[in-house]
C-alpha cells in the first residue's frame, strides 16, 4: 500500500489537506516502506515547515518484524513538522491472502 503524504498547513477545519503524492505504491512490507520513507525524508529535508501527515499502511502478514526508522529521517520529520501515522491493514481489508 502506498505511503500517503498530505500537507495540512493551509487546511481549514473539516477540510482535507493538500495531497503531495504517494511513495511505495503496492508495497506492504514495513521494512521496504521505512527504507523508502528514509530516502524521501532526505530528498525533502528542505520542505517548508508545515503540518505534514505521512500515513504508512502496512500488513503484518506481509512484513518482517523489526522495521526501523532512522534518527536522520525522524530529525527531518521534526524540522518540517511531519507526523507519522502507522495504519495496520489485515489481509481481509487488503484483498490479499
Q: Read off the pLDDT of residues 14-24 as tens digits, 9 standing for 90 and up.
A: 677 889 999 99
pLDDT at 91: 61
Residue 2 lies in a domain: no
Burial class (CB in 10 A: 0-12, 13-18, 19+), 94: middle
Residue 22 lies in a domain: no
Residue 8 lies in a domain: no
Residue 17 lies in a domain: no
Tell me the C-alpha distance between 30 and 61, whole Å. 10
| CA dist list (Å): 78 to 16, 49, 83, 95 | 22, 9, 8, 34
Q: Domain tally for the chain? A: 1
- Range list of H helices, the chain: 30-43, 71-80, 91-94
pLDDT tens sequence across 32-53:
899 999 999 999 999 999 999 9
**Where in the sequence is the domain holding 83, given as residue range(s)?**
29-49+57-88
Residue 14 lies in a domain: no
Residue 1 lies in a domain: no
Helix (H) or strand (E) holding 84: strand 82-88
Of the candidates 30, 40, 44, 41, the residue with the CA atom closest to the CA atom of residue 87: 30
Amino acid at each position: 500500500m502506498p505511503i500517503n503524504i498530505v500537507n495540512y498547513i493551509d487546511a481549514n477545519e473539516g477540510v482535507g489537506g493538500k495531497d503531495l503524492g504517494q511513495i511505495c505504491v503496492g508495497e506492504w512490507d514495513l521494512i521496504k516502506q521505512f527504507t523508502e520513507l528514509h530516502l524521501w525524508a532526505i530528498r525533502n529535508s528542505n520542505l517548508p515547515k508545515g503540518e505534514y501527515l505521512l500515513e504508512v499502511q502496512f500488513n503484518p502478514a506481509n512484513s518482517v518484524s523489526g522495521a526501523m526508522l532512522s534518527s536522520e529521517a525522524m530529525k527531518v520529520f521534526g524540522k518540517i513538522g511531519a507526523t507519522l501515522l502507522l495504519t495496520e491493514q489485515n489481509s481481509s481489508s487488503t484483498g490479499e491472502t
